[in-house]
Amino acid sequence: MPCERLIAADAALGQEIAQATDLTQWGESVGGGTTVLPVVDGVTLPQRPIDALADGAGRDIDLLTGTTSDEFRLFLVPLGMGPRITDQVLHGFLTGFGLDPVEACKAYASPGATPGDLLSEVMTDYAYRIPALRVAEARAAHGAETFVYEFAWPSPALDGALGACHMAEIGFVFGNLAHPLAGPDAPQELSDRVREAWSSFARTGLPTAARPPGGGLPHWPAYAGRRSVMRLDDGAASVVLEDPAADRRRLWDTLR
């Protein structure tokens, strides 16, 4: 099929979804979400992936998964949307997600945080962190090995306003520190450690790196049990955290 026809079809679909209100037809894409998502058709994809995992699918396959600390900043900051987020807008989003605005703002509060900052953190959890943890939880119920990371090194791009945003880890994983989000002074040692851990996982199913120059990662336990997460940052800041941001995680129980 000609590429032009696919592009035109995608554009038309995007307009249709942006104007849609029927969650039963378009799910989370309603109102302008991505057009490129798996579709449960009962044949190629018989059920939602998270439901399949809960039923034990893939339990014999090891998994390495995770997120960056500030995923959603990539979508708010470059468009200049952060300063436009008011308390009213923030509370509207929180209510729409089924969260209590007062309780949620208390859990996500940090010194100097603006409503835009809080929305970015909430959206990071909603769209990325909580789904990744649900995958780890579903697999843990069947004894499947799952290793979870949080990439926390902040990008210097846009004067540091992006933080550890979506895609910030990609250059480190592939050893491409010329990546725009890495910047001119990206720590080579962090990339070495990340690459060795990923390679070790591919070889053995365990992200237990040999110690490259500059020092390796601490022991990386599986997520199950203590909800262990490897926080990847420069130097000695790479540490294993047990159930990080547990108060925020619990807010989404039964909701996400």
Please give the pLDDT value at position 144. Answer: 95
Can you say whether the dihedral through the CA atoms of 31, 166, 92, 96 is positive or negative? positive
DSSP 150: E
Strand runs labelled E in the chain: 63-68, 146-151, 228-232, 239-242
H or E element that contains 18: helix 3-18
Please give the pLDDT value at position 20. Answer: 86
pLDDT in tens, 74-103: 999 999 999 999 999 999 999 999 999 999
Can you say whether the dihedral through the CA atoms of 182, 174, 241, 73 is positive or negative? positive
Q: Look at strands 63-68 and 239-242 and give their pairing.
A: unpaired
Residue 1 neighbours by CB under 8 Å, 6+ apart: none
Residue 87 neighbours by CB under 8 Å, 6+ apart: 115
DSSP 38: -
Please give the pLDDT value at position 214. Answer: 52
Please give the pLDDT value at position 236. Answer: 75
Average pLDDT, the chain: 92
Cα(49)–Cα(255) distance, integer angstroms: 17
Please give the pLDDT value at position 27. Answer: 78
Please give the pLDDT value at position 212. Answer: 47
Q: Which position has the token pair 């780890």? A: 136
Write down the H helix ranges in 19-77. Answer: 23-26, 49-54, 73-76
Residue 5 burial by CB count (10 A; 0-12/13-18/19+): exposed, middle or buried? exposed
* Amino acid sitting at position 110: S
- Which parts of the chain have pLDDT scores under 50? 210, 212-213
